DNA sequence: ACAACTTTGCAACAAAGTTGCAAAACAATG
DNA sequence: CATTGTTTTGCAACTTTGTTGCAAAGTTGT
């Protein structure tokens, strides 16, 4: 659900979503629209479990797995590394495309509420590697307390 | 196994391992020595599966789980974030203690051979956070090709 | 060497993820 | 808008990964 916005906005959003799917060469189905909508209306990251809960109406676990896999492969979302053995996904920025993720922003994971924030504004600092090593992607994960969870 | 070193060195290494365990308040058992030895003789990170393979002699899966948990809790090893839903562990440096991990070095994961290197020499750059956010730990994971896997 | 305590291995269980296949939904035509 | 070909979904069954309780075995300290 898009919240309390009017019908016109809902239709707009719906078309935006459909277009994202089409330009990724994915057919536009109810489950995909629902999951993509969830990502668009969340500014943090989502785990498989979150999606399973939110998309309350009957949607198979397996469909969620496959949808997420498809989205990752097509460059719509990307995986954020975690220490708790749970895969978290977040929307990609424009520079990402099929098979080529260029995600250079910092992720912040709150140790209290476990929300994952994408800090787009902040650039990933460049790190010099030992000789023989080449970088294709750098991920920065910062753990700590977010603004909401401060005492 | 320590390789082809002489008997004296093996005994030395054995004592070092026992001391690490003792100062962490863990009793010295065969499984723990074997797993800790594995970490000491690997300069990268190990996943549960790696340990299960290497420690070929009969050692229960469950013992490995519990040993790793104990090591993490006591500050002997720490978890490295990954994108592939597999928990990887690496030895902690001296600054780590029970319940308090101060691991500030960069990790490099080779996309070819999936070896995880700890780049101790390289400092983690400091990142400025939005107001209200406080950092407790920063992790940097770099993906790319390692020296061995270069064509 | 003995008693108190910790760790191990087994069994059983729970959670997370994958694969094959038939039915349903979608896309693209006329 | 109906039909055909393709893609996606949902189900069942299975694999892999991780957890818990408990008795037997091992470790520690005296």
Backbone torsions φ then ψ of B25, nearest 5 degrees: 65, 35
B151 inside domain: no
Cβ–Cβ < 8 Å for A138, B139:
no
Summarised one tens digit per residue, pLDDT across range B123-149 is: 777 778 888 999 888 888 888 899 988
A84 inside domain: yes
- pLDDT for B109 equals 87
Summarised one tens digit per residue, pLDDT across range B64-113 is: 999 999 999 999 998 988 888 888 999 876 555 555 555 567 888 888 88
Total Cβ atoms within 10 A of residue A150? 11
B140 inside domain: yes
Structurally, how many domains does chain B consist of? Answer: 1
A149 inside domain: no
Cβ–Cβ < 8 Å for A16, A32:
no
- pLDDT for B141 equals 87
A123 inside domain: yes
Name the residue in chain A with its Cα closest to that of B109: A135
Which of A83-97, B15-29, B31-45, B59-73 is predicted least confidently? A83-97
Q: How far is the CA of B29 from the C1' of D30 (A)?
A: 21
- pLDDT for A2 equals 39
* Residue span of the structural domain in which B35 resides: 7-144
B149 inside domain: no
Nucleotides of strand D lying closer than 7 angstroms to a protein CB: 7-12, 17-21, 26-28
A77 inside domain: yes
Summarised one tens digit per residue, pLDDT across range A38-52 is: 999 987 889 998 998
Taking an 8 Å cut-off on Cβ atoms, the answer to whether A136 and B119 are in contact is no
A72 inside domain: yes
- pLDDT greater than 70 at residue A3: no
CA dihedral B10, B19, B30, B48 (to 10 degrees): -100
The answer to whether strand C lies under 7 Å from the CB of residue A59 is no
Which of A40-44, B7-11, B30-34, B98-102 holds the top average pLDDT?
B30-34
- The average pLDDT across A103-121 equals 79
Higher pLDDT, A28 or A81: A28
- The average pLDDT across A79-84 equals 86
The answer to whether strand C lies under 7 Å from the CB of residue A5 is no
B113 is in an annotated binding site: yes
Chain B closest-CA separation from residue A104 CA (Å)? 11
**At B13, which CATH number?**
1.10.10.10
- pLDDT for A56 equals 63
DSSP A74: T
Angle between helices B61-73 and B30-40 (to 10 degrees): 70
Write out the residues of chain B at the interface with chain A, using a CB-CB cutoff of 8 A.
79-83, 85-87, 106, 108, 111, 119, 121-122, 125, 127-148, 150
User: How far from chain centre, in Å, is Cα A54?
Assistant: 15
Model confidence at B3, pLDDT cuts 50, 70, 90, reads very low
């Amino acid at each position: 659900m898009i919240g309390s916005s009017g019908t016109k906005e809902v239709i707009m959003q719906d078309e935006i979503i459909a277009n994202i799917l089409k330009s990724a060469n994915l057919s536009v189905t109810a489950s995909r629209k629902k999951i993509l909508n969830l990502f668009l209306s969340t500014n943090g990251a989502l785990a498989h479990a979150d999606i399973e809960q939110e998309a309350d109406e009957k949607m198979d676990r397996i469909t969620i797995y496959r949808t997420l896999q498809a989205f990752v492969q097509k460059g719509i979302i990307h995986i954020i590394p975690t220490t708790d053995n749970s895969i978290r996904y977040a929307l990609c920025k424009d520079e990402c495309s099929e098979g080529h993720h260029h995600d250079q922003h910092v992720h912040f994971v709150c140790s209290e509420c476990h929300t994952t924030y994408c800090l787009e504004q902040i650039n990933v600092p460049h790190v010099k590697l030992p000789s023989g090593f080449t970088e294709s992607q750098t991920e920065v994960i910062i753990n700590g307390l977010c603004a909401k969870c401060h005492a």
